[in-house]
């Protein structure tokens, strides 16, 4: 078969989920996938962004990353989402993007996409798992195939042990507490492998 087409769709305020998305991109390309790395549109007012130096720095650093569109979903065989938690569910920027896909869903173009998700929060019990599950709930409505990592590789335990998807705690300075790079890369490769198997 042709190479798996993978869209990595992320939202990141201060850069954590952008970093995770970049790790996923690297691993997916190593696994032979054709990859699109795209960000969902920002909804926060400029005043809020400007008041947080880490947020402003990330906006500048990622200004050349294309914004995600429905075409990125339709094109893809597989999708990895990376999104921070907001009060235990996905950030509104990602929710808005997903909510805008009614046309694709109604025409059956979300069915059988292989999907996986990653997240972050400012403490280890800040809703990381719930955020991933909130995204997976939407994917069930899409008719997508969820490729959670489970406990299928030692890197899952080393990265904190979240079977739903890679997740990381971020301290007040924006630093990742757990070492999740290998976890993210494994999850990306697994997503590509699942998509390959499903397409065969």
pTM of the model: 0.96
Which token pair is 194? 């699942």
Does the domain at 5-199 match CATH 3.40.50.360? Answer given as: yes
- Which of 5, 13, 10 minimizes the C-alpha distance to 166? 10
Query: In this model, does residue 2 exceed pLDDT 90?
Result: no
Burial class (CB in 10 A: 0-12, 13-18, 19+), 46: exposed
Summarised one tens digit per residue, pLDDT across range 159-179 is: 999 999 999 999 888 888 889
The predicted-structure confidence for 8-20, as pLDDT tens digits, reads as follows: 999 999 999 999 9
CB 122 within 8 A of CB 60: no
Helix (H) or strand (E) segment spanning residue 117: strand 114-121
Phi/psi at 148 (5° precision) = -75, 150
Please, are residues 32 and 4 in contact by the beta-carbon 8 Å criterion?
A: yes
Q: Given this model, what pLDDT does residue 149 score?
A: 96
- Counted residue by residue, the chain has a size of 200
Confidence of residue 124 (pLDDT cuts 50, 70, 90): confident
Supply the Cα-derived Rg of the chain in whole angstroms: 16
Q: What is the pLDDT of residues 27-65, one digit of tens each?
A: 999 999 999 999 999 999 999 999 999 999 999 999 999
For the packed helices 181-199 and 16-30, what is the interaxial angle rounded to 10 degrees? 50
């Amino acid at each position: 078969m042709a190479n798996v087409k993978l869209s990595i769709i992320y939202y990141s305020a201060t850069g954590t989920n952008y970093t995770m998305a970049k790790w996923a991109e690297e691993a997916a390309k190593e696994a032979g996938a054709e990859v699109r790395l795209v960000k969902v549109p920002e909804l926060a007012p400029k005043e809020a962004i400007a008041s947080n130096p880490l947020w402003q720095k990330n906006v500048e650093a990622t200004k050349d990353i294309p914004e995600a569109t429905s075409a990125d979903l339709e094109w893809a065989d597989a999708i990895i989402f990376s999104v921070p938690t907001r009060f235990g569910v996905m950030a509104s920027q990602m929710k808005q993007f997903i909510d805008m896909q009614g046309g694709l869903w109604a025409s059956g173009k979300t069915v059988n996409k292989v999907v996986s998700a990653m997240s972050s929060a400012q403490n280890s019990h800040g809703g990381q798992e719930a955020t991933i599950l909130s995204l997976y709930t939407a994917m069930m409505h899409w008719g997508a195939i969820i490729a959670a990592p489970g406990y299928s590789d030692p890197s899952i335990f080393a990265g904190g042990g979240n079977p739903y998807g890679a997740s990381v705690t971020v301290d007040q300075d924006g630093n990742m507490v757990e070492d999740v790079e290998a976890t993210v890369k494994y999850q990306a490769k697994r997503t590509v492998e699942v998509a390959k198997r499903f397409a065969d």
